[in-house]
Structures are given as structure tokens and as C-alpha cells.
Amino acid sequence: MRNPSPCTSPPRTSPPPGRTGRPRSAAADAAILAATRDALVELGWSKLTMGDVSARAGVAKTTLYRRWAGKSELVVDAVAELFDALELPDRGSLEADIEHVVLQFAQLLRRPEARTALMAVVAESTRDEALRGRIRSAIVDRQKRLVVLGRERAQARGELPYEEDEALSGLATDLIFDVIAGTVVHRALVSCEPVDELWVSAFTSLLMHGLRGAASA
């Protein structure tokens, strides 16, 4: 029997029924996620505990465990909150939109809490299939919204053709996201090279060449 791929998605399950009782506090959630990022930068993944986070956030550990099963889920959500701040304002062209979001992404990765948290959960996920699934749903799938929005704008401007095949459209979204996210993360966190305006301009030109070539094929 062949071993499953280490990146195979975990089986999809129905979400658990909602808990009854006191509603969640948005302010408490924000404080907990911020405390998680601070603790991770200071302590590192191996020393971080739910107790550290609860003490920093000023909440009981039971409050944390009502929201998150353990620190893996907590740290992923703490990272996801940072990535949810990424925006794609309309800059008038697909090229300008890409340059803007890449620079914004690089600026985010320069923050110690973002860099440390992202590297920690990715490293830990190599041994935890459930954690890989949570990273995919909480970070990757949610951030693909930027690619979808950018392509829709480009199609409306006539820069890219509309696609009738939903499967091919979804594949294109995945490829664009993988190229942008993978390249920027490797450049900023693995190679530790600057992601400045000159590099972003060259990278965007290369990406646009590929998109235009694919559109005309």
C-alpha cells in the first residue's frame, strides 16, 4: 500500500454544534491572540504554554480551552489574524495591485510576531496532519480571497479573459497564490533577502508575463 502524501488534506468533517452559554467576547479573543504572538516571540514554540498565554491575556486557562483545544490551534489563529489584515485596494491595474499586496505582505513578514509564529506553525505542521489542515483552512484558503478579487478586477478591466471552466479557474487561483506566497515567504524568511520595491517590480513583471502568456495560449 502506498503511503499517503504528507500534504494530503485531512478528511472533512461537519463542524461541531455551537456551544450554548455566554457568548464569546471579541475583546477577549483579540487580547488572547495578541498575547499568544508576544509569548511566542519571547519564549519560542517549545516553551510556549496555554498558561503563559492566559497569564499575559489576563484570562483563565479555562477560557482558552473553551475556544481552542491546544496551543497549535491557538497559534494558527493568532497568525491568521495578522494575515486577515492584508488588503487589496484597487490600484487601477493588475500589475499595480500585485505590487501593492506583495509589498504589504513583505512588510507583515518583517514583524517579529508574524515571522516567528508562521515559521513555528509550519515547522510543527510537518509532524501534525491536523495542524496542516488548520493552517490550510485558517490561513491559506482565507488569503486566496485576494487572488480571487485581483483576478475579478483584472477580468472586468479586460486585462485577463473570463473563464467558463470553474475547475480551471480554481486551479489558476491556486497557482497564482502558490507562486506569490511561496516566493515571498522563501525570499523573506528562508533566503533572508530584502523584498523591496525593485525586487517586487521585477517579480511582478515576471508574474505578469506568465499570466499574459497563459491568457493568450
Q: In which residue are the cell numbers 493588475 written?
A: 94
Residues of the chain with pLDDT > 90: what percent?
A: 67
Q: What is the pLDDT of residue 64?
A: 93
Question: What confidence tens digit (pLDDT) does each residue in 178-203 have?
Answer: 999 999 999 999 999 999 999 999 99
Mean pLDDT of 96-106: 96
Q: What is the pLDDT of residue 120?
A: 87
Q: What is the pLDDT of residue 215?
A: 62
Mean pLDDT of 35-41: 93
Q: Which residue has the higher pLDDT, 12 or 131?
A: 131
Question: What confidence tens digit (pLDDT) does each residue in 109-124 have?
Answer: 999 989 988 988 899 8
- Specify the amino acid at residue 98: I
163 pLDDT band (50/70/90 cuts)?
Answer: confident
Nearest to 134 by CA among 46, 13, 5, 3: 13
Write down the pTM of the prediction: 0.80
Contacts of 129 (CB under 8 A, 6+ apart): 6, 8, 10
Residue 62 has pLDDT above 60, yes or no: yes
Residue 15 has pLDDT above 80, yes or no: no
Asked if 66 contacts 19 with a C-beta cutoff of 8 angstroms, the reply is yes
Question: What confidence tens digit (pLDDT) does each residue in 134-156 have?
Answer: 999 999 999 999 999 999 999 99
Residue 16 has pLDDT above 50, yes or no: no
Distances (CA, A) of 209 to 95, 162, 203: 10, 18, 10
Q: What is the CA radius of gyration of the chain?
A: 19
24 pLDDT band (50/70/90 cuts)?
Answer: low
Q: What is the pLDDT of residue 1?
A: 46
